[in-house]
A = this chain, B = another copy of it.
């Protein structure tokens, strides 16, 4: 045995230390690979929350459609201000919302309610709280007297003030929010043309995985663990509007894995797998993807989240003329450690899914915060530390930052984005990513 000679690394210890790839470079490469999907369909407005608009929506009317009162009160002409302030003016009309009246009679006021059309010849509305009613002997009696001089235009919403006819109200590629839905309703849109959801097949790999519910927690076989990544990944995907198919854990042979992946690629835009992308892992997914298309294994310069894979699975029978997006499905491989899987989803998969829909998502808006913890031994990779805001306005660190400890993510309300090799001392300013922007 002592006659051994040192040789270059070879199997099974052949794994070369891959050069680390900066996150921003990896993201740029991934986004460049994401040709936008274009298939769209019409959906009822009430079901369009989170959908991505397929075309610009142009207003076909002014909003508001007519000058109207923004408060409950009295409409008048400022020409009559002097009389209104001294003796008061009689009420000549009453205009509820939804009703048009004729022109305002000169020398009078009209009782008017919020949203009701301003009568012509009126140019101001005075809040009822700023008026007093003056009793008279006249029939139908009463004069309305102002407490201060009205100014032209006061408490009036002008026609087209919110939206002008012909204007683009919401642009193509916008991911719709509740406010957009309200805005689209206000211009009379009952349906909207939106991109069809990204179809994602989700695959959890690993011999050790057992689905929750198939065995009682206290009867889990030795060496097994409950499958958990699929639960948060599918939920994160659904929050992005994706249509998710969870693939059954495939049989442990290369032939069956290959068949399952080819099947998934035919009906999905993205095949997302978790586990099995480390350099030396036992897994049939890697060779199967390689045999069906191409696969790059990346070592990301982030922690957690080093191993990551991107590839393409060609679709059987796809003709080259149909356009590239019809020829293949994207393959994305995330690490199996749950925190690594979560973080790589946030920093890479989320923007990738948006890019497939043509959404130019603004990156996470980091916010400077004060560390209320020490981090004396930083990694050489950029770190995403799980932290929570405390009552003193600083950040606490979850004590166990292991990538296997999903508790840290559930506990956290954000990440500290820590540059490579950066020591953190209590009181330092750090870059905080709020969790609300990450999912």
Residues of A within 8 A of B (CB): 1-7, 9-17, 45-46, 49, 59-61, 63-66, 70-74, 87-88, 90, 96-100, 111, 113-117, 128-129, 131-138, 143-145, 157, 161-163, 169-170, 177-191, 206-209, 211-218, 220, 222-236, 238-239, 278-282, 336-338, 342, 365, 367, 389, 400, 402-407, 409-410, 412, 434-437, 439
Contacts and interface: CB of A to CB of B under 8 A. Distances in A.
Given A49-B235, A61-B217, A212-B188, A129 B228 contact: no
B208 A97 contact: yes
A213 B234 contact: no
Nearest to A90: B1
B402 A161 contact: yes
A65 B145 CA distance: 81
Contacts of A220: 61, 65, 188
Contacts of A96: 207, 282
A87 B6 CA distance: 10
A372 B113 CA distance: 36
B216 A188 contact: yes
Contacts of A63: 225
B405 A137 contact: no
A135 B5 contact: yes
B232 A182 contact: yes
Contact of A135 (B7, B70, B365): B7
Nearest to A279: B72
Contact of A134 (B7, B144, B410): B7
A124 to B, nearest CB: 16
Given A217-B60, A404-B161, A229 B434 contact: no
B99 A223 contact: yes
A425 to B, nearest CB: 22
Given A61-B217, A133-B9, A406-B183, A232 B178 contact: yes
Contacts of A406: 162, 179, 182-183, 186
9 contacts: A7-B134, A66-B222, A115-B336, A178-B233, A178-B439, A179-B410, A181-B231, A182-B231, A185-B212
Given A99-B223, A117-B223, A182-B228, 15 more contacts: A6-B134, A11-B133, A13-B133, A46-B234, A49-B235, A60-B216, A61-B220, A66-B223, A97-B282, A113-B282, A129-B279, A182-B231, A182-B410, A434-B436, A434-B437
B208 A132 contact: no
Given A213-B191, A220-B188, A235-B49, A143 B1 contact: yes
A400 B180 CA distance: 17
Contacts of A405: 161-162
Contact of A182 (B4, B342, B412, B436): B342
Contacts of A177: 410, 435, 439
A128 B17 CA distance: 9
A74 B143 CA distance: 95
Contacts of A117: 222-223
Contacts of A181: 231-232, 235
Contact of A212 (B4, B111, B133, B190): B190
A156 to B, nearest CB: 10
A337 B13 contact: no
A369 B114 CA distance: 35
Given A87-B2, A128-B280, A434-B365, A231 B185 contact: yes
A46 B245 CA distance: 12
A179 B212 CA distance: 16
A25 to B, nearest CB: 21
A280 B72 contact: yes
Contacts of A190: 211-214
A304 B296 CA distance: 53
A74 B12 CA distance: 11
A199 B98 CA distance: 30
Contacts of A187: 217, 226
B70 A407 contact: no
